[in-house]
Amino acid sequence: MLVRFYEAWNRAERVDEAQDAPSAQQARGEATSIARVYESATPIVSLSRSPFSGGVFESSLDNVDIDGLWWAYEFDYRPHVAPVATFFAWTGAMKLEGPIPNVPLKSMVGPEVPFVLPRLLDHPAIKAVVSSVLVGEHVGFPVVYYADPVPPTLERVDDWGHSLYSTTKPDGSPTAGHCVEYDYDKDFELGPWLASGKLQWIAPGDIDLTIRSGAKDCPFVGLEGQRHRQYIQGGERWFAREVAFPKRTPTP
């Protein structure tokens, strides 16, 4: 399926450059049709658990490899899954342990080690849970933020590996927004957050998603790796480089 999608996508790009609009439209239509089939077949995976309600956070996730359309950073090929009531946002990181795919659509899988966003955890209603998930040979580290009550005016953050975040309107229908967090906004030192109880964790391979507390025995503390966002496209990987602007001043 993915081979046929990328063939149609590349064909559309070629004929677009040749200014052959009808052929480009036909190729893009073919790619879109294949993408819809892909979306319908994307697994729904249990990734985390709310420390407030105990409800399980589920999301669509292509856990076969990062060459799938789910990982296309600038496109939305993710079927919506209604989250638990206390869900607020989620981000993630990934340690690549397998080959880098040669696909035309750019992906952004996060840094190599897990992190938290102080701007969210500083809010008194928010806690986060870090866990892990295999994506093919690669190891992903989802970090899911929960709130009770959900703060209506606090800006969320783009979903893991995506240029948008999905949320729910008051009537229950899905909607989307955009808020990127730069690498200098992240905190990779998880120990103090674990000690404070603002961050909790789920052991790798725990299918029961048991929430654990404290830094002792936590496998996500002290991991080595790049602390910059990693991008993948065309068989190559590169890391973001940023100028560190002054830290945000907390609102009194």
Assess whether pLDDT exceeds 70 at residue 206: yes
User: Position 144: which residue type?
Assistant: V
Assess whether pLDDT exceeds 60 at residue 247: no
Q: Give the per-residue pLDDT at 251.
A: 44
Give the tokens for residue 222.
Answer: 């002290």
Q: Give the per-residue pLDDT at 6.
A: 86
User: Position 209: which residue type?
Assistant: L
- pLDDT tens digits for range 61-108: 999 999 999 999 999 999 989 999 999 999 999 999 989 999 999 999
5 and 69 Cβ atoms separated by less than 8 Å: yes
Q: Give the per-residue pLDDT at 171.
A: 81
**What single DSSP character describes residue 83?**
P
User: Position 32: which residue type?
Assistant: T
User: Position 125: which residue type?
Assistant: A
What average pLDDT does this structure show over 115-129? 98
Instruction: Tell me the pTM.
Output: 0.91
Radius of gyration of the chain (CA): 19
221 and 230 Cβ atoms separated by less than 8 Å: no
- pLDDT tens digits for range 23-36: 888 888 898 899 99
Q: Give the per-residue pLDDT at 242.
A: 64
- Mean per-residue pLDDT over the chain, rounded: 92
Between CA 93 and CA 127 the distance in angstroms is 18
Domain boundaries in the chain?
Answer: 1-41, 43-239
Assess whether pLDDT exceeds 50 at residue 252: no
